[in-house]
Amino acid sequence: MDERKKIVHIQVLPILSGVQRAMLDLLIRLDPADYDISVICSGQGALTETLTEHSIRWIALPELARSINPYYDVIAFLKLYKLLKRHKFDLVHTHSSKPGVIGRLAARAAGVKAIVHTVQGFAFHENSTRLKKLFIGIIERIAGLACHMVVFVNDKDLADANELKIVPAGKTIKICNGVDVNAFCHGSNGANNSENNKIASEKYVGMIARLWEQKAPEYFIAAIPEILKEVPDAKFLVIGDGPLKSDLLQLSKKLQVDKSVRFLGWRQDVPSLLKRMDVYVLPSLWEGLPISILEAMCAGKPVVATNIKGNNELVMDGDTGFLVEPKNAAQISAAVVKLLKNRKLAEKMGQSGRKRVESHFDIKETVRQTENLYLRLLSSVA
């Protein structure tokens, strides 16, 4: 008889953006002798390919879409309910707002013993309207009643949840995202493949993100002309993909910087590419606790990021990088130029960032805390 604990994680998009990578970094480190692991997401993609490589079962649920659609949302709920009932999972762990609501409610209806949700940033944020905050707050309260624990990755979201009474008392815990310190702090420079050989000795500035509204990549592109005025040989890397890619390509041509920018798409050799960068930039409008900043800091790179929740819990302004105002390409340009022109400052900030990650954001600690949570919840309902 298989006595392993049956757990399932529920995502929406089958890509390898920050939320999915945070989940994946956890799952591949759980002992398969102790856990029978599954993942439910909307379809096939880079995430499911990686899950297959690690012999982790995945189930596609096409109706589990990101956008709100009452018809498909009801179907997704019913199908999730049936799946959870049939597989008799011991623990359900949801991620992101949409699957977080539907998944928690379906798990409770299916009688799952332990239900966990991770908030990688609420669906409302600094730029949301009061009406949106009110509506999402009500939905989150309902979903909060259906689960046993809500995990927060940053202090601000945890404080907001407590202040707005989004989650019942005693059902919150903070567990930060983490990264593989060995892979990013001590990885190779990756000069042994042809793609990276093209990235020679020039000064490189890069960002890694899903190219959509949240990450505001247009402000990274808009900052490039002013940077090139001061550092003409600078090159720029955009790693990732998404709905804004064609707009960004057009913008780079309009600003006449397209010859200085390379759009690399999603890549598996992120540690190597980070080693090539001199400065890392993330111009997000809202965040949870961005994996890409952790990886850049771990790789010893100074970071220029927007002064928003999540980012400002990682980047210590003036110590590990610079914080700039959202939607401000001029501030991004000025900060990047300062770092490109002052190698000693950049190296000092990079070293401080690396030490910060090694001390506070090692993936081993994230896994340890999460597994302890699982065991505590499961033992309480045994």
Could you read off the pLDDT of 102-150 as tens digits, one per residue? 999 999 999 999 999 999 988 777 677 888 778 888 899 999 999 999 9
The predicted structure's pLDDT at residue 14 = 95
pLDDT band of residue 344 (cuts 50, 70, 90) is very high
The predicted structure's pLDDT at residue 186 = 61
Average pLDDT value over all residues in the chain: 93
The predicted structure's pLDDT at residue 201 = 58
Mean pLDDT, to the nearest integer, of 74-87? Answer: 97
The predicted structure's pLDDT at residue 192 = 40
Task: Estimate to the nearest angstrom the gap between the alpha carbon of 291 and the chain centroid.
Answer: 5
pLDDT in tens, 229-249: 999 999 999 999 999 999 999
d(CA 116, CA 338): 43
pLDDT band of residue 382 (cuts 50, 70, 90) is low
Pick from 11-25, 180-194, 222-236: least confident? 180-194
- Could you give the strand order of the β-sheet that contains 35-41, starting from the edge strand earlier in sequence? 57-60, 35-41, 5-10, 91-95, 114-119, 149-152, 172-174
d(CA 125, CA 195): 38
Task: Estimate to the nearest angstrom the gap between the alpha carbon of 229 and the chain centroid.
Answer: 33
The predicted structure's pLDDT at residue 35 = 97
The predicted structure's pLDDT at residue 184 = 86
Tell me which of 3.40.50.2000, 3.40.50.620, 3.30.300.30, 3.40.50.300 is the CATH number of domain 5-178+362-380: 3.40.50.2000
The predicted structure's pLDDT at residue 311 = 98
Mean pLDDT, to the nearest integer, of 3-29? Answer: 95
The predicted structure's pLDDT at residue 347 = 97
pLDDT band of residue 190 (cuts 50, 70, 90) is very low
Locate CATH 3.40.50.2000 in the chain. Answer: 5-178+362-380, 181-360
CATH fold, domain 181-360, is Rossmann fold (3.40.50)
Reference 280, options 355, 370, 382, 209; nearest CA is 209
Prediction pTM value: 0.91
Mark 39-68 as b/e (b = at least 16 C-beta within 10 Å). bbbbeebbbbebbeeeebebeebebbbeee
pLDDT band of residue 195 (cuts 50, 70, 90) is very low
